[in-house]
């Protein structure tokens, strides 16, 4: 499965629920890159310079990570979250999967308007240790600044400030939105309105992947 949509659409949240329900491996490129950043690897530091400005990480950086990761997980069910993000990445992903005799069964496209995205991301905080996400309105932590899951520190991601959010939305429309036509042409694109509660959105997603 592949889940796509603009920043703040809820890709990570929905992907985690799907992964649990269907015993899939949730493969989030954002999480992978943030782990590399935390470890201060060469790839992580290069990726961070792009992410902090709201730009996409270059194709060659992501592809080098994802190819080896996918090959190592050949016999597992996978839900891709945040990859591919460009046509070049999508074409390369198709080549890699073909070599592995695999295909993407369903692409779930979460659709949400820009105002909703800004509201979600500007109020979002992320655990520095486990990656858990909270929101000041819809999902506040029990103790301000402390993760409910592991007790780690919560902080706003550098790419979740208002100026960078707008830049990320522009980049999404320019580079990632064209993937809708790419997968529509393959006949596996399913569109889901990503407004409402997490549970309401998941019920719509579930109808598309059953």
Q: Where in the sequence numbering do the catalytic residues fall?
A: 11, 85, 124, 157, 168
Cβ count within 10 A of residue 78: 18
Q: For the chain, how far is it from start to end, CA to CA, in angstroms?
A: 12
Residue matched to tokens 């629920």: 17
CA distances from 148 to 17, 94, 156 (A): 18, 39, 16
Sheet holding 2-4, edge to edge: 25-28, 78-81, 2-4, 107-111, 189-193
Burial class (CB in 10 A: 0-12, 13-18, 19+), 71: exposed
Q: Evaluate whether 192 touches 17 at the Cβ level (below 8 Å).
A: no
CA–CA distance, 59 with 42 (Å, rounded to integer):
16
């Amino acid at each position: 499965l592949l889940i796509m949509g603009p920043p703040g659409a809820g890709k990570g949240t929905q992907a985690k629920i799907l992964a649990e329900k269907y015993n899939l491996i949730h493969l989030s490129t954002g999480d992978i890159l943030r782990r590399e950043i935390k470890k201060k690897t060469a790839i992580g530091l290069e990726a961070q310079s792009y992410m902090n400005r709201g730009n996409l990480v270059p194709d060659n950086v992501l592809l080098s990570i994802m190819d080896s990761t996918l090959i190592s997980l050949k016999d597992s069910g996978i839900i891709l979250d945040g990859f591919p993000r460009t046509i070049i990445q999508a074409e390369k992903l198709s080549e890699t999967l073909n070599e592995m005799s695999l295909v993407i069964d369903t692409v779930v496209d979460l659709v949400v308007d820009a105002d909703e995205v800004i509201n979600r991301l500007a109020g979002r905080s992320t655990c520095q240790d486990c990656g858990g996400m909270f929101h000041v309105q819809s999902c506040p932590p029990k103790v301000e600044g402390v993760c409910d899951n592991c007790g780690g520190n919560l902080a706003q991601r550098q790419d979740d400030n208002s100026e960078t959010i707008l830049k990320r939305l522009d980049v999404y429309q320019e580079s990632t939105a064209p993937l809708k036509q790419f997968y529509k042409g393959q006949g596996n694109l399913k569109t889901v309105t990503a407004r409402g509660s997490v549970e309401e959105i998941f019920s719509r997603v579930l109808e598309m992947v059953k």
